[in-house]
């Protein structure tokens, strides 16, 4: 089936989808993005994703490319046109097209917007979750504003490639104090020996994940005890369980960190249960 992308007001075949060479996203990584899960013909947690998009835009002083309601429609329409039943929808907004110059372009330059949607296999994801993934630690080397979901992902690309070449699926950033911040494209969690869920506070050092927020809601609903606090790589090595969260992976058990096997080397009970119950706490918008 041919894929369709939405580019600056038009739905176009994927092969013709293009952005100008002087788009500031291309030249300066001057843009932001969101990824929403598509689950059984629903866009998951779209309100939270669009709230975060609005925050990212406002932190960078980029305008909304269209009214929020219109954007909700475009996301759903892109999912529909691509016949994606399970997968994800991606939206990217940049500061627009202008002659290359570091300074912001004139006020009348409109932001650029691209929306794409892609199917993925729930069966393949479940298989991965049943096996669990390995993560590889990596020194934190990103700018301090990782709370903004910008397209400037070069450090994440390099960290994740390092992890892949070392046999892992994800990189875990470790800061100067020896604490895990987050993954290259996921938030990081552990379950302590006394069964407490722990994830780093979202005030600084991490992206405030939408999946993370849903898992915190789920932990409350299920009466699980949890703590938002920093945890060290050493503590993670000795944890009962570990897992990562993101819209693209949901709750994904971690069974190995560097050379250390976590727990009994199999996905933990807490992570598995959180994965099973995940969609009971999410907002679902039918496409
Ligand atoms: N942290 C980073 C660096 C990410 O890139 C992502 C997702 O792309 C996340 C965390 C998880 O965020 P979310 O749950 O909103 O997908």
75-101 pLDDT tens trace: 999 999 999 999 999 999 999 999 999
Asked whether 225 and 197 are in contact (CB, 8 A), the reply is yes
pTM of the full structure: 0.98
Mutate to test the pocket of ligand 1, among 51, 201, 247, 274 (most ligand atoms within 8 A of CB): 247
Q: What is the largest CA-CA distance in the chain?
A: 58
Main-chain phi, psi angles of 239, to 5 degrees:
-70, 160
Per-residue pLDDT tens for 179-229?
999 999 999 999 999 999 999 999 989 999 999 999 999 999 999 999 999
Whether residue 185 has its Cβ less than 6 Å from ligand 1: yes
Q: How confident is the model at residue 21 (pLDDT cuts 50, 70, 90)?
A: very high
**148-170 burial code (b ≥16 CB/10 A, e <16):** bbbbbbebbeebbeebeeeebbb
**Cβ of 34 less than 6 Å from ligand 1:** no
Query: Does the pLDDT value for residue 1 go beyond 90?
Result: no
All domains of the chain in start order, with CATH: 4-120 (3.30.470.10), 125-286 (3.20.10.10)
pLDDT at 246: 98
Average pLDDT on 224-238 reads: 98
Assign 2 a pLDDT band (cuts: 50, 70, 90). confident
- Sign of the torsion formed by the C-alpha atoms of 263, 264, 270 and 276: positive
**From ligand 1's centre to the CA of 146, what distance in Å?**
10
Question: Would you say 117 and 86 are in contact if contact means Cβ atoms under 8 Å apart?
Answer: no
Q: For ligand 1, is residue 182 a contact (CB within 6 Å)? A: yes
């Amino acid at each position: 089936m041919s894929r369709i992308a939405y580019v600056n007001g038009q739905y176009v075949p994927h092969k013709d989808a293009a952005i100008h060479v002087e788009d500031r996203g291309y030249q300066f990584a001057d843009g932001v993005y969101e990824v929403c899960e598509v689950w059984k013909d629903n866009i998951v947690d779209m309100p939270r994703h669009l709230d975060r998009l609005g925050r990212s835009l406002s932190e960078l002083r980029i305008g909304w490319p269209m009214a929020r309601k219109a954007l909700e429609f475009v996301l759903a329409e892109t999912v529909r046109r691509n016949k994606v039943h399970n997968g994800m929808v991606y939206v990217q907004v940049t500061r627009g097209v202008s002659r290359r110059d570091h300074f912001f372009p004139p006020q009348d330059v409109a932001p650029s917007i691209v929306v794409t949607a892609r199917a993925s296999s729930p069966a393949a994801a479940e298989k991965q979750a049943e096996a669990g993934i390995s993560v590889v630690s990596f020194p934190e080397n990103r700018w301090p504003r990782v709370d903004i979901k910008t397209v400037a992902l070069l450090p994440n690309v390099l960290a994740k490639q390092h992890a892949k070449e070392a046999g892992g699926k994800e990189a875990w950033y470790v800061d100067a104090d020896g604490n895990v911040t987050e993954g290259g494209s996921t938030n990081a969690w552990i379950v302590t020996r006394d069964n407490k869920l722990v994830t780093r506070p979202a005030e600084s050092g991490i992206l405030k994940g939408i999946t993370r927020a849903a898992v915190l809601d789920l932990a409350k609903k299920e009466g699980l005890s949890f703590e938002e606090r920093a945890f060290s790589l050493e503590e993670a090595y000795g944890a009962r369980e570990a897992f990562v969260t993101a819209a693209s992976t949901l709750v994904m058990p971690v069974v190995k960190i560097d050379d250390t096997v976590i727990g009994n080397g199999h996905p933990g009970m807490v992570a598995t249960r959180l994965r099973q119950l995940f969609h009971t706490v999410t907002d679902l918008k039918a496409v």
